[in-house]
Amino acid sequence: MSEQKAIATPKRTKEILEKYGFSFKKSLGQNFLIDVNILRNIIHHAGISKEMSAIEIGPGIGALTEQLALAANKVVAFEIDGRLLPILEDTLAPYDHVDIINQDILKADFEQVWQQHFQDQKPVKVVANLPYYITTPILMQLLMANLPIASITVMIQKEVAERMAASENSKEYGSLSIAIQYYTEASVKMIVPKTVFMPQPRVDSAVLHLEKRETPPVHLQDEAFFFQLVQASFQQRRKTLRNNLTRHFKEVLTKPEIEQGFEQIGIDGTRRGESLTMQEFADLANYFYEQTKGNS
């Protein structure tokens, strides 16, 4: 397929939108990519080949879907906007190995999706240009569902991508960085200017690559308690760890018990959440989890 005919050009995108009288829905965060080289770069960073299958979220008029179809063994795309189905049927007509599911990805029955579409045991990767307003819920759902996904490569808001891939001692680092990096190795692969979208969003985007970990990087007594403690540590970013944790756990732990925890683990309570490594959070969570069990 020559580049002129690719969906992801300003000319072809306009033609398709005019042909179907399609209007963008702001509530669905619809911004279509109009630069085919960027799409090919995304697929390159995702490491897609004919030995793999791909899941896409929000295919729009099929710009990324088309490039995925050229690279992958099979593509399954979730599209919530029913108005796009006839357009996708038209634009993706040459590719019989593409399936479109008209459903909200957050409501998908993944067990059923796997049985119906991914019986061939090939590695499955997620590749998507995600709507900004729902990026975090989608990624957390995919990661926590414990699916046999090898990696996730997504175009998202630049600022969110930087937060997800951030290291400790940076202003971007927070509970979201830790949640994402508990399940994956996260890296920002490229920055994408707002000018390559139609309509143009207000901010630049970035391509974030998440390589699924086989095992978490830290040992935890209780996952839910760990994430609760991490979130509490960043509740008020400018406050110390001591202040945030004392406030959050006041029903179950006394001030002296919290002090004892800091002493036991060897962490200074005057530090702020952004200075702690994931291992330090894990040590604190494991210690306090044992204490709360004893106090309950």
Backbone conformation region of residue 285, classed left if phi is above 0, alpha if psi is from -120 to 50, else beta: alpha
Residue 183 to residue 187: CA distance in whole angstroms: 13
Cβ contact 156:134 at 8 Å = no
Q: Is 58 annotated as a binding residue?
A: yes
3 marked as binding residue: no
DSSP label of 29: T
Establish whether the linkage from the previous residue to 256 is cis, with ω within 30° of 0.
no
The answer to whether the annotation marks 266 as part of a ligand binding site is: no
Is 243 part of any known ligand binding site? no
Beta-strand pair 53-57/74-78: parallel
Q: Are 174 and 273 in contact (CB under 8 A)?
A: yes
Number of C-beta neighbours around residue 14 at 10 A: 12
| Two structure tokens written together for 286 | 């494991």
Angle formed at CA 99 by CA 93 and CA 103, multiple of 5 degrees: 120
State how far the alpha carbon of 51 is from the alpha carbons of 88, 124, 212, in Å: 24, 9, 18
**Tokens of residue 220, six digits:** 């935890």
Q: Is 284 annotated as a binding residue?
A: no
Q: How long a stretch of residues is the chain?
A: 296
104 annotated ligand binder: yes
How many C-beta atoms surround the C-beta of residue 214 within 10 A?
Answer: 4
Look up tokens 């999706």; give the residue. Answer: 113
Q: List residues forming the annotated binding site for S-adenosyl-L-methionine.
A: 31, 33, 58, 79, 104, 129
Which residues line the annotated binding site? 31, 33, 58, 79, 104, 129
